[in-house]
């Protein structure tokens, strides 16, 4: 079964600093990869996804992530943090080829990383 | 605007009670999911449904059941609530991916705001 690990349950940065949230997956076949964000008292919403093609993926709100097959990683970055980026971020994976040929859109989520942005 | 609505934001129940959590989506999505969210554990899939009256177990189905009588509504049932089921419950839906037996990349999940359930 797929698994995904997010290194660091809490990350704290200053406003304007680089944001780096780490995600590693375990699979011999690279899965589909996603980052979701959860703002306080809200459900999750999609930030970006990698399915195929260019390994650097751009998402909403200035975030981007790079798929690195050799490192089995899909780290999320943003060059300059804003106070409004404070939220919990989840990396997620979906099997590229699942048993029986049907995935039904299931995602396996990481443990989550809470991002705090200081003024 | 797309919407997934969960009937209650906060719910307090007693051990042994039967609990119903309701979720409704207005996007005509085929796939619907129930996750529970616990600090340090992320989201874990309880059950999902890919069509009316169809259901599949997720990673942690024990102690739960589901019902999908209509396309837009997906209910999570705790047959006999226990304290270890105290958690945030998130409902989500997504569009079915046609072609190749749904083998393509999954479509975006749309989430409700969640129901914080406390079992005392």
**Separation between Cα atoms, residue A17 and residue A54, nearest integer Å:** 26
Distances (CA, A) of B89 to A17, A18, A61, A96, B56: 33, 32, 27, 27, 17
Note down pLDDT in tens along chain B; length 120 residues. Answer: 669 999 899 999 999 999 999 999 999 998 999 999 999 899 999 999 988 988 999 999 999 999 999 999 999 999 999 999 999 999 999 987 654 455 567 778 999 999 999 999
Which of B58, B96, B106 lies closest to A32 in CB terms? B106
CB contact under 8 A, A41 and B113: yes
Nearest chain B residue to A105 by CA distance is B106
Which has more confidence, A101 or B88?
B88
Tell me which residues of chain B, numbers 76 to 95, contact chain A at a CB-CB cutoff of 8 Å: 90, 92, 94
The residue with tokens 């749309």 is B110
Contacts by residues A67-72 (CB-CB < 8 Å, ≥ 24 positions apart): A67/A30, A67/A33, A69/A30, A71/A24, A72/A24, A72/A25, A72/A26, A72/A27, A72/A30
pLDDT at B97: 63
B60 touches chain A (CB under 8 A): no
A74 touches chain B (CB under 8 A): no
Picking from B111, B97, B44, the residue whose alpha carbon sits closest to that of residue A2 is B44
């Amino acid at each position: 079964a797929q698994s995904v690990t997010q290194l660091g349950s809490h990350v704290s940065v200053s406003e304007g600093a680089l944001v780096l949230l780490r995600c590693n997956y375990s699979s011999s076949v690279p899965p589909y990869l996603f980052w979701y964000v959860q703002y306080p008292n809200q459900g999750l919403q999609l930030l970006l996804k990698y399915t195929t093609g260019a390994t650097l993926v751009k998402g909403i709100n200035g975030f981007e992530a790079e798929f690195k097959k050799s490192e089995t990683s899909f780290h999320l970055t943003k060059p300059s943090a804003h106070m409004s980026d404070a939220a919990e971020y989840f990396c997620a994976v979906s099997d590229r080829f699942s048993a029986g040929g049907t995935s039904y859109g299931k995602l396996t989520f990481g443990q989550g990383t809470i991002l705090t942005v200081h003024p | 605007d797309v919407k997934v609505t969960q009937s209650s934001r906060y719910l307090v129940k007693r051990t042994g009670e039967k609990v119903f959590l309701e979720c409704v989506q207005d996007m005509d999505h085929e796939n619907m999911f129930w996750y529970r969210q616990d600090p340090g554990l992320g989201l874990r899939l309880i059950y999902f449904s890919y069509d009316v009256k169809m259901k599949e177990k997720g990673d942690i189905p024990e102690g739960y059941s589901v019902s999908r009588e209509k396309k837009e509504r997906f209910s999570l049932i705790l047959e006999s609530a226990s304290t270890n089921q105290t958690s945030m419950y998130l409902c989500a839906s997504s569009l079915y991916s046609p072609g190749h037996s749904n083998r393509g990349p999954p479509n975006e999940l749309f989430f409700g705001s969640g129901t914080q359930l406390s079992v005392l």
